[in-house]
Amino acid sequence: MLNRVSMLNRVSMLNRVAPWCWFVSLAAQAPLWTFHETPAASDVVLAVCWEHGFDDDDPMQCGASRVLADCRLERARAAVPGPAKVGVQVLPDATVAFVLVAAADWQLGLRFVQALLDDTLPLDDDPIALATAHAALAADDAEWLHPGQVLGSRARQALLAGTVGARPVAGSAAAVAALTPARVRELLAQPVAVACVAVGAVPAELRGGCAAMPKRTAAGRPPALGCEPVRAPIGSPEFPVHSRIDAPFVAAAFVVPSRDRLPAFAVGLEVARIRATKTMLPRGEERLGIAPVVGWSWLAGDPLVLFCRRARNGGGQQAPQAELERFLGALRDKPPSEAELDAARRAVAGELALPGAAPILPSALPGRAIVALLAGRRGIDGPAIAAVTAAAVQEVLVAALAPERAWWGGLLPEAPSLLRPGTSR
């Protein structure tokens, strides 16, 4: 763990400096703009996807993509301060930033996107240091604080050996903290392919403004999700001590299946979530520890699915491990009912804003834009989801969640937990 006090002091000091700018050098070709009209929408969201995420960072600078993302967003905020609803998300293989504005303010949104992509704006040392400190703190939390992320990183290193995914889920705190302003500038100057989208109320003038933007390189790298890694031998489960938990956490992880089987797998994991709400009542510490019973996101490009369970207060790791084993065994042995299958298909369609899902609210437009940018990379397809059968779900879960494919691990508290009022039993 890094010296968090010094990093926090660094963040506090640098928060007093002015917002900064970010620039990225992009090769000269046409940008990939797509437009999605949403009936009755009065707002429009413009989003950009950079074809670079955590797993694309140099192994010695793992987590640098978070620094670049923060610089990118704050540079645009400084250059175009009007929009209030903006955000950025860093994924294993991509980074997405968005801005949401009223349709009448489309010019403001377009200027924000232009600022995101402007490679002529300067970048001072202080904002780079601030972004670096924030990213190092986030990586530090994922490496040692949140049980779900700690276990996810360990599972990646075991199951994804020999691939770019064998690294911490949010980068290395030490690697990020070692970045110098000069090195960050070098990374920002490297060409990165982009894709752009506008979703909601899309005026004709906005389409014209997008077409008039400077030439960029369109994103088009084949997605890596669903590729089998070089399998490394999986040893016996390890349960190191974790100083910030008061009861054991146990996890089982599996590599996601190939791309063509992901529709059935996504529906199958929604069936798992439906069953978990009935048989694996959540414990508060699981949510706080970013350790849901079923942890996987098709849209995010997660290469692993992680099943987590916290022990009851005062209990050992045997009970939650037995719970997970029974849960996984039932997923393999019991096909989904028609009711479960229908609910799971609707849940996937709704989460991904696929055709046939419920109407999209204005507040959900950024999510729809992210889906529009990433669906093609992930192989997400509405008709394929609708066509998933109970037999297909059981077949893919039997294969993907086979016991011999599992990585098991966990975390133990430093001392026996004490039952406190209001805690889980």
Beta-carbon contacts of residue 380 (< 8 Å; ≥ 6 apart): 298, 299, 352, 354, 371, 374
Q: Mark whether 20 and 106 lie in a shared domain.
A: yes
Q: Mark whether 18 and 136 lie in a shared domain.
A: yes
Q: Mark whether 280 and 191 lie in a shared domain.
A: no
Q: Mark whether 152 and 255 lie in a shared domain.
A: no
Q: How far apart are CA 198 and CA 207, in angstroms?
A: 9
Q: Mark whether 52 and 150 lie in a shared domain.
A: yes
Which of 170, 155, 206, 212 lies closest to 411 in space, CA to CA? 155
Beta-carbon contacts of residue 161 (< 8 Å; ≥ 6 apart): 229, 230, 231, 232
**186 located within any domain:** yes
**106 located within any domain:** yes
Is 307 in a helix, a strand, or coil? strand
Q: How far apart are CA 344 and CA 355, in angstroms?
A: 15
Is 271 in a helix, a strand, or coil? helix
Q: Mark whether 207 and 299 lie in a shared domain.
A: no
According to DSSP, the β-strands at 249-255 and 241-242 are unpaired
Amino acid of residue 356: G
Which of 136, 110, 121 lies closest to 24 in space, CA to CA? 121
- Burial class of residue 397 in the structure, from the number of CB atoms within 10 Å of its CB (0-12 exposed, 13-18 middle, 19+ buried): buried
pLDDT tens series, the chain, 425 aa: 455 444 444 443 333 322 212 222 233 344 479 998 887 788 999 999 999 999 999 999 999 999 999 999 988 998 999 888 999 999 999 999 999 999 999 999 999 999 999 877 778 899 899 999 999 999 999 988 899 999 999 999 999 988 889 999 999 999 999 999 999 988 988 889 999 999 999 999 999 999 888 766 666 554 444 445 445 446 678 888 988 888 899 999 999 999 999 999 999 999 999 999 999 887 877 888 889 999 999 999 999 999 999 998 878 899 999 999 999 999 999 999 999 999 999 999 888 876 545 556 777 889 889 999 998 888 888 899 999 999 999 999 999 999 999 999 999 998 654 444 444 43
Cα torsion angle, 387, 392, 394, 396, sign: negative
Contact 73, 88 (CB under 8 A): yes
- Under DSSP, the state recorded for 190 is S
310 membership: H or E segment, kind and range:
strand 304-310
**282 located within any domain:** yes
| pLDDT for the residue numbered 16 | 30
Is 413 in a helix, a strand, or coil? strand
Contact 369, 199 (CB under 8 A): yes
Q: Mark whether 165 and 276 lie in a shared domain.
A: no
Q: Mark whether 197 and 259 lie in a shared domain.
A: no
| pLDDT for the residue numbered 220 | 56
**65 located within any domain:** yes
Q: Mark whether 57 and 187 lie in a shared domain.
A: yes
Which CATH number fits the domain that encloses residue 367?
3.30.830.10
**423 located within any domain:** no
Residue-range definition of the domain harbouring residue 382: 241-413
Number of domains in the chain: 2
Q: Mark whether 258 and 175 lie in a shared domain.
A: no
Q: How far apart are CA 231 and CA 357, in angstroms?
A: 38
Contact 75, 123 (CB under 8 A): yes
